[in-house]
Amino acid sequence: MDYLLNYDEMAPKFKKLGMPIPKRELIKTASQIEGIRQVGIINNKILDLVANNIKVGMSTEEIDNLVYNATKEYGAIPACLGFEGFPKSCCTSINDQVCHGIPSSKVFLKAGDIINVDCTTILNGYYADASRMFQMGLINEEADKLIRVTKEALELALKVLKPYCRLGDIGYAIEHHVKQNGFSVVHEIGGHGVGLDFHEEPYVAHFGKRDTGLVLFPGMVFTIEPMINTGTRKVFLDASNNWTIYTMDGGLSAQVEHTVVITEDGFEILAN
C-alpha cells in the first residue's frame, strides 16, 4: 500500500464526518518505515545487550557505557546524548523514578530494585525508541505485579491497533486494565510520534475514552510507553537536575515502551 495515496483518498471521508485526522506529513513512506525498521533492529540489539549484562552491584553509569559503546559499534548515534542538554546516552529509572533517570557512577543496583532502561537510537537520520523493565534478583510481590500489569497494559493497547482506530482507544485499553489491578497511570507524560525526529506528533496519552481522539492512519509511526504507579498517579520533577520524574508518594513506577507503525491490516512493532 502507498500510505500517502491512501491518506489522500481516505482523509476527506473522515473530515466530512468531523473526525480529527493527522497531518499528511505524519504519514511515513515505505522507504522511511524501512529506515526506522533498520534502526529499530539496532535499538533492540542494544537493549538485548543490556538485558544480558545488567546485574546487582552494577552502576547505572556502566549501563550507559554499554549503550554508548554498542551504539557506536553499530555506526549509530545515541539520541539521548546531548538532547536538550541530557548528559547521558540512555535513561535509567529505578524504583520510584518514573522516567528520565540519569545514569550515574554513584548509583548502584541493589537486590530487589526494579529499573527501566530507555534507549533511543539514530541511524541514517532515522529514530527508534524503546524501553524495558528489569528486576534485580528477587523482588517483592507488589513490584512483580506492577511489572506484569504494565506489560499487559501495553499488550492490550497493541490489540486495538488497526487502521482508523482512535488514540482514545489506546488510552482506554491501558487505563482500564491498570485501574482494574489497583494501580494508576501517569497522565503528564505519554507516547509520541517518532521516526524522522526524536519527538513528533501525535502525543499518545495512556488514558482516554473509546472512539475519541485522532484517527490513526496507515503509515503513522509512534511510541506507546505507559508509565504505571503503584500508588497515586501524581508525579514531580527533580529540581536538582530538571530531568528525572518521581512518584509523588514514593511508590514504585514501571514503564515499557514500543515503537510501532500502523499498517494496512494492523500494526508492526519496529522497536521493543
| pLDDT tens readout for residues 28-83 | 999 999 999 999 999 999 999 999 999 999 999 999 999 999 999 999 999 999 99
The answer to whether 177 touches 149, Cβ cutoff 8 Å, is yes
Mean pLDDT over 196-225 rounds to 98
Domain extent, residue 197, equals 26-271
Mean pLDDT over 195-216 rounds to 98
- Residue 203 in any domain: the answer is yes
DSSP string of 32-66, one letter each residue? HHHHHHHHHHHHHHHHHHHHHH--TT-BHHHHHHH
- Residue 3 in any domain: the answer is no
SS3 label, residue 73:
helix
- Residue 17 in any domain: the answer is no
Q: For residue 97, list its beta bridge partners.
A: 246
Mean pLDDT over 201-226 rounds to 98
Would you say residue 104 has pLDDT above 90? yes
The pLDDT confidence band at residue 103, using thresholds 50, 70 and 90, is very high
- Residue 118 in any domain: the answer is yes
In this predicted structure, what is the pLDDT of residue 1? 85
Please give the model's pTM, rounded to 2 decimal places.
0.97
Share of the chain above pLDDT 70, in %: 100
Would you say residue 209 has pLDDT above 90? yes
In this predicted structure, what is the pLDDT of residue 108? 98
Residue 28: DSSP 8-state: P
Buried b (16+ CB within 10 A) or exposed e, 123-158: beebbbbbbbbbbbeebeeebebbbebbbbbbebbb
Neighbours of 237 (CB within 10 A): 14
- Residue 198 in any domain: the answer is yes
- Residue 130 in any domain: the answer is yes
* CA torsion through residues 149, 63, 245, 187, sign: negative
In this predicted structure, what is the pLDDT of residue 106? 98
- Residue 149 in any domain: the answer is yes
Q: What is the CATH number of the domain that holds 32?
A: 3.90.230.10
Share of the chain above pLDDT 90, in %: 100
| pLDDT tens readout for residues 134-192 | 999 999 999 999 999 999 999 999 999 999 999 999 999 999 999 999 999 999 999 99
The pLDDT confidence band at residue 222, using thresholds 50, 70 and 90, is very high
| pLDDT tens readout for residues 232-262 | 999 999 999 999 999 999 999 999 999 999 9
- With cell 554499554, the residue in question is 66
What's the structural domain count of the chain? 1
- Residue 13 in any domain: the answer is no
